[in-house]
Structure 1
């Protein structure tokens, strides 16, 4: 059943930048107004398009209060020390305890091997090793160790950040979720149905104070259901047939709903894989409707234990790419509207 913010402490609310169809340089007036409409965080992701850190550096310059987080960067495509150095540099631009959230993850072979030529090997071990190295490096420790997936001859960060950086993991299944909370500052998870969240929380177990569980929610705020489904199917068929997400939904118990899509994908028929996705999966993983309807669906993800909501907003054609229209849409989707309606 739907859960409102009255059940537990209000979550942080974030939006993924850049918004599709708007150039990064045009985001400054949007970012400057986000705190006024209730948003606390700006997030980025990194695959085959915009890098994760440049939008966050711009956000730190444009807004002195927003938290900035990567959700997530692959642990393969940068060296461990470069990851730590980049996070420390971002923390200089965005000072404040916990204002920078460094989200690390294994990503998927399509982003690691196919476009970067890097073998996608031992993803859990690589993620664990990078998490442990980066956490220690950001504390200013000397590191000269043989990790299981790489060796560090000797490194100490010359100027570790004065304010702690929260290092979290993109985590889907139990082993990664447990690692995220045992060795890191929490997790970010995504592409799950509201009814799947309790299973994730069960795998996490009791959460120490100060750790994060961020849920990323994909939203296409339009009442044109045909458009929303058509625009979501290509992405969902691709991502749900990547091995990490396929195994994630097998663990969640959604495999029966996806079996026909998997078979089409394996047969080299991506169009068939799209068509085979049930509407309930498309509508559940990439929610649509009026902004108010979408907001009610977003709130279903906020249950006790979830500390933050990250929105990925796909702007439909009927929304003008103007400051006033975009801010109005984000206001109607987000925490300000939620608070007024509670």
Structure 2
């Protein structure tokens, strides 16, 4: 089995984007192989990766994830192929349905038939990025005349941001793997097994084949101030866990009753109350916090068979706001 890769999500905490270079250049020496981005928080997914490829060419680059409703499949293919030609490292294009609050409320686009749209986009991208005719056998999109005009020398892998079995089946069956997040360490084997079964992917000892990626994104808040960390976690989790895809995900995991009070508060328009209603134990399991040594041990619990990459989203903390230059040392401690 190949060694697990370690990635960092950009942008970095307490750093302006223009100030990322020194830390990005140092990442291989700190034990990190990848840089990843999401899209939806004010910074696009591809510009930071292009900068990272110039600053530290050996890094693997990934998006985790780009919504399929805010960029057409042809634009996604062109952008990923261009990045792949520019970069020396491998490129992984992670796409997903996202949530209506991003695709509709912020971007004005529809959020219809997310499973079918993601599946169609993945099939389109796999063909386009390998120089094959894309065809027109899609339920939710049409671009039969599309062609990149060239085949990338190393076609990007296409991953899917997935939560429940059917989308996990698209990730493992149609795509090259899954990007998963907002789950506990104990949830990981169940999620991988569901994707393997739904995608009809045979494996070794019950785990996906080596060529399938499973990227686990972890939210890490490295601070001694537990009250600060929990308040920050509740602010994020009280919103995201009550978005329809994530609420359904945790219901599938058996947490519907545990989240009911938060869900009721959110439906009533009380976002603060939705966060406050989350049990401490769940906040601590989804928003990892504490000193680096304790965090390192908790991160290690996610290293289940089938996991190929651990991706750390490092949240800003009072310590980092006070000394942003301490980030590199902190990353080394988390990875050690």
Q: Report the TM range for the smaller structure's normalisation.
A: over 0.9
Q: CA deviation at 1:320?
A: 5.1
Query: Residues 278, 150 of structure 1: CA spacing in aligned structure 2 closer, same or farther, 3 A cutoff?
Result: same
| Equivalent residue, structure 2, for 1:221 | 222
**Counterpart of 2:288 in 1: which secondary structure?**
strand
CA RMSD after TM alignment? 1.3
CA–CA distance in structure 2, aligned partners of residues 230 and 9 of structure 1? 38
Match of 1:186 in 2: 177
- The runs of at least 4 aligned residues of structure 1 exceeding 2 Å deviation read 319-324
Q: Aligned pair 1:89/2:105, yes or no?
A: no
Match of 1:151 among 116, 121, 142: 142
Larger RCO: 1 or 2 (CA < 8 Å, sep 6+):
1
Q: Residue 192 of structure 1 contacts residue 285 of structure 1 at CA under 8 Å; is this kept in 2?
A: yes
Answer with 144-153 or 247-256: which moved more: 144-153
CA distance in 1: counterparts of 2:40 and 2:322, whole angstroms:
24
TM-score (norm 1): 0.93
Question: Which SS does the other structure have where 2:108 is aligned?
Answer: coil
Q: Is the 8 A contact 1:221 1:290 kept in 2?
A: yes
Alignment-derived partner of residue 279 in structure 1: 280
Give deviations 1:145-184, integer Å, cap 9, x for gaps: 1410011141111112111211100010111111111111
Q: Distance in 1 between matches of 2:321 and 2:115?
A: 42
23, 29, 37: which is aligned to 1:36? 29
SS at match of 2:233: helix
1:216–1:311 CA contact under 8 A, matched in 2: yes
Alignment of 1:105 onto 2:96: yes
Secondary structure at 1:268's aligned position in 2?
coil
2: distance between equivalents of 1:87 and 1:242? Answer: 28
- Structure 2: gaps spanning 5 or more residues: 197-202
2:73 corresponds in structure 1 to 80
Are positions 1:63 and 2:56 aligned together? Answer: yes
Unaligned runs of 5+ in 1: 1-7, 338-342
How many equivalent residue pairs? 326
For residue 15 of structure 1, report the CA deviation from its aligned partner: 0.5
Corresponding position of 1:176: 167
Deviations 1:258-278 (A, max 9, x none): 111001111121121111011
d(CA) in 2 for partners of 1:291, 1:331: 9
Q: C-alpha offsets along residues 175-231 of structure 1, whole Å, 9 cap, x if unaligned?
A: 111111111110010000111112112212331222100100000001110000011
Alignment of 1:224-235 (within 5 A): 224-235=225-236
Q: Secondary structure, in 3 states, of the residue corresponding to 2:220?
A: strand
Task: Tell me, in whole angstroms, the C-alpha distance in 2 between the residues paired with 1:315 and 1:299.
Answer: 21
